[in-house]
Amino acid sequence: MISKREFFIDGRWVTPAKPHDLEVINPSNEEPCAVISLGGQSDTDAAVAAARRAFASWSMTAKEERLALVERILELYNARAEEMAQAISLEMGAPIELARTQQAPAGSWHIKNFLRAAKTFSFERMLGDHAPNDRILYEPVGVCGLITPWNWPMNQVTLKVIPALLTGCTMVLKPSEIAPLSSLLFAEIVAQAGTPAGVFNLVNGDGPGVGTQLSTHPDVDMISFTGSARAGTAISKNAADTLKRVHLELGGKGANIVFPDADEKAVKRGALHCFNNSGQSCNAPTRMLVQRDHYDQAVEIARAVADAMPVGPSNEQGRHMGPVVSQMQFDKIQGLIQKGIDEGARLVAGGPGRPEGFNRGYFVRPTVFADVSNDMTIAREEIFGPVLSILPFETEEEAIAIANDTTYGLTNYVQSQNSETRQRVARRLRSGMVEMNGQPRGAGSPFGGMKASGNGREGGVWGLEDFLEVKAVSGW
């Protein structure tokens, strides 16, 4: 069993003041695979104090120095990519091929994109020709508390740590206590790259503990959090007393609108996207809206995709769906699948219980519901598991109304060969992102949502700006 009981504070690995051990569970077999320690107030205080001390010098470094550091981090990250994939696969159950091809590479993808954005970012600008002696300065916000989830560990860690470094901020990272091993490896990489003491700190802990300590801490200037809307609300309330900036990336309940002229692979592509990472993605297209004339065919295609989806442990080679991350998530998903049945949705694939052949591990059957109405629980709540709900619609207007009838607003999807239809619908969807015809967003595109999906934008120039204050200076 792996033992990772130390924290990274002020440039060195330190033992917690009052260690409280926690077992990390392998979701594929429900066995402990590692032991970490959870931090207390004194550990959080020490990390914040180190970040505060380091801020005075790090905030004044030249852009070129910060770029050089992040370039070294990228080189080391790539050199340890297989270690990273193995850590992610073990801790959160991603099949090893998915960990190698999607999970670990998400980190290097974001590091490269931030480097590109930062190289051309101007931290000092003229206001305009009308005011030649006015300057607009973009300055680091200060000490940042970074709280990241377990579902895409390096995706979220790099989306926060890297722009914070590039803008001159210092930070305390609290990764998910459910999947902390990849972040501990990332801390080794950051240290090996020569990051100055105190600039980057890591303290393991849970939300009520270290998470709350960071969000209420008077010496933390900003909280960047990715997770549930419930936790985001609590963090916002905790941070209000100190008036710190709060950046939230929260959940989603994405609609995938499939028009009659969609390409022949649209339904299969949407179902596979929903099941990717065992359905544990906030931007998953979990509500598939299909025009009535093509509805029965779409239901049959989605059923076939689910029935053909292999399920297996994370260390098994090949392309398959792994377990969900924990007993808590497993129980929540099982309850919502049963809720769908009880509320009258038509179960066409999957259902309650583990897949055939599994009597342990947090494995969920790839599940498809048809004849779902948008007032059902499975259409309202973020399930965060491999569960697809299919809803019929008659007109474009009705499809837009159904898609927007949710508290969330992260990502929606449109499938149509008609560019006018796509563009018209995209403008009316109330979400921070719209992806069409299976085309992913480009490098440096902002990730973020509206409504209960949060208030931040991560990635590219927008990700840098979230860690910057704007200062207006006259008489330059």
The residues near 397 (Cβ < 8 Å, ≥ 6 apart) are none
Tokens of 184: 């501990």
pLDDT at 2: 84
pLDDT classification of 211: cutoffs 50, 70, 90: very high
**Closest alpha carbon to 332 in 267, 383, 287:** 383
Q: Give yes or no for residue 296 having a pLDDT over 80.
A: yes
Render pLDDT for 37-62 as a digit per residue (tens, 0 to 9). Answer: 999 999 999 999 999 999 999 999 99
Reported for 371-377, long-range contacts at CB under 8 A and 24+ positions apart, including other chains, are: 371/344, 371/345, 371/346, 372/287, 372/340, 372/345, 374/287, 374/402, 374/405, 374/406, 376/340, 376/343, 376/344, 376/345, 377/336, 377/339, 377/340, 377/343
Question: For 34, left (φ over 0), alpha (ψ -120 to 50), or beta?
Answer: beta
Q: Give yes or no for residue 14 having a pLDDT over 90.
A: yes
pLDDT classification of 1: cutoffs 50, 70, 90: confident
pLDDT at 97: 98
> Tokens 């105190």 correspond to what residue?
198
Render pLDDT for 139-150 as a digit per residue (tens, 0 to 9). Answer: 999 999 999 999
pLDDT classification of 387: cutoffs 50, 70, 90: very high
Across the range 424-429, mean pLDDT stands at 98
Q: Give yes or no for residue 122 having a pLDDT over 80.
A: yes
How far is the CA of 87 from the CAs of 100, 179, 312, 317, 476, in angstroms? Answer: 11, 9, 17, 15, 51
State whether the Cα torsion 80-81-86-92 is positive or negative: positive
Active site residue 97: no
Q: Which amino acid is at 252?
A: G
Active site residue 300: no
Q: Give yes or no for residue 134 having a pLDDT over 90.
A: yes
pLDDT at 78: 98
Q: Which of 6, 177, 249, 435 is catalytic?
A: 249
pLDDT at 17: 86
Share of the chain above pLDDT 70, in %: 100
The predicted model scores a pTM of: 0.97
Cα-atom radius of gyration of the chain, to the nearest Å?
Answer: 23
Q: Which amino acid is at 224?
A: S
Share of the chain above pLDDT 90, in %: 99
pLDDT classification of 439: cutoffs 50, 70, 90: very high
Across the range 160-187, mean pLDDT stands at 98
pLDDT classification of 127: cutoffs 50, 70, 90: very high
Q: Which of 144, 169, 274, 282 is catalytic?
A: 282
Task: Give the whole-angstrom CA distance, residue 437 versus residue 374.
Answer: 23
pLDDT classification of 18: cutoffs 50, 70, 90: confident
Across the range 9-26, mean pLDDT stands at 95
Helix axes 104-119, 63-79, angle to 10 degrees: 160
pLDDT at 3: 86
Across the range 404-412, mean pLDDT stands at 98
When the pLDDT of each residue in the chain is averaged and rounded to a whole number, the result is: 97
H or E element that contains 135? strand 131-140
Q: Give yes or no for residue 156 having a pLDDT over 90.
A: yes
